[in-house]
Amino acid sequence: MTPTRTRHRHEHRAPVAIAILANLGLSLFLPSEVLFIPSWVVPVLGVLLLSPLVVFNPRRLTRETTWSRWVSISLAILLTVANQLTVIRTIELLLGGHADGGTVLLTALQVWLSTIIAFGLVYWELDRGGPVARRRPELWATAEADFQFPQETDPRTAAWRPVYLDYLYVAMTNMVAFSPTDTMPMTVRAKMIMAYQALGGFILLALVISRAVNIIS
């Protein structure tokens, strides 16, 4: 029999675009106490960075140039830095204990969700050179993997390639379990980023639980 040629379909734009817009939308509803800058700044910058990427690859991520790669990375950095600054302010608010309890808990939930989306985007951009590079067989075979998914170890799923939702899942399980679950970080940079995310998630959750106990008491 003649072996069938493996075809790697390019990733859809929609899931990651929706996640980014959700992240930007969450930032609009954060209270002023946890903001370093006006609430509209990050959403406006995010939309300005996302728009040319959507125009360049409207449906599937089939093309990549130097400028598109840097714009995409800049967008991930923007969301992550903005989120981490909000995490710091939220932790300060929780430690202070002077703000309204319901507002603080709702803010912590928004920050928790934004952290998952932002770090999922970072992992998605980081692994094997990004979403476009991962669909190139020669780069997939030679590029250093930052993450190893269980599908990569199964010969029956040799044609499988991760998409944004896979990295979103990695970010979510890291926030919940504070450690890798089924997907392993393979490089030092991936391990350090996951460790940082897990530590921040643990501190945030511990303070939220303490604050909730105080409210109930």
Q: What is the mean pLDDT of residues 135-151?
A: 86
* Chain centroid to CA 69: 16
CB-CB contact of 12 with 60 (8 Å):
yes
Q: Could you give the dihedral angle defined by the CA atoms of residues 86, 36, 48 and 15, in that order, rounded to the nearest 10 degrees? A: 10
Is residue 196 very low, low, confident or very high in pLDDT (cuts 50, 70, 90)? very high
d(CA 94, CA 12): 39
List the one residue out of 202, 185, 96 whose CA is nearest residue 145: 185
Residue range 47-52: mean pLDDT, rounded: 96
Q: Quickly state the pLDDT bin for 4 (edges 50, 70, 90).
A: very low
pLDDT score of 194: 95
Amino acid at 18: I
> For the residues 139-167, what does the mean pLDDT come to?
87
Which residue, chain included where needed, has tokens 């089924």?
A: 182
Going by pLDDT thresholds of 50, 70 and 90, the confidence category of residue 10 is confident
